[in-house]
Amino acid sequence: MLCDMQYLSGYTILFADPVVADLNSLDRGARAQFLIDMSVIGDALPEVTGAYHINYAVLSNSDPVLHAHIIPRYSDETEASRKHLPWSYSREVMNGRPFDATRDAELISRLRAAVERRLAG
- What pLDDT, in 10s, does the model give residues 37-68? 999 999 999 999 999 999 999 987 788 899 99
**What's the average model confidence in pLDDT over 65-94?**
95
Residue 25 lies in a domain: yes
In a domain, 118, yes or no: no
Tell me if 59 is assigned to some domain. Answer: yes
Instruction: Report how far residue 2's alpha carbon sits from residue 12's, in angstroms, rounded to the nearest whole number.
Output: 4
Residue 117 lies in a domain: no
Residue-level pLDDT at 69: 97
**Range 65-83 average pLDDT:** 95
In the chain, how long is the greatest CA-to-CA distance? 41
List C-alpha distances in Å: 52 to 2, 8, 87, 100: 18, 12, 18, 24
Looking up residue 25, the CATH number of its domain turns out to be: 3.30.428.10
Is residue 52 assigned to a domain? yes
- The answer to whether residue 3 sits within a structural domain is no
Contact 111, 10 (CB under 8 A): yes
CB of 48 closer than 8 Å to CB of 10: yes
pLDDT tens per residue across span 104-120: 999 999 999 999 999 99
Q: Is residue 66 part of a domain?
A: yes
Residue 18: is the preceding peptide bond cis (ω within 30°)? Answer: yes
Are 64 and 19 in contact, with CB atoms under 8 Å apart? Answer: no
Q: Show the domain range for 46.
A: 12-109
Looking at residue 63, what is its pLDDT?
81
120 assigned to some structural domain: no
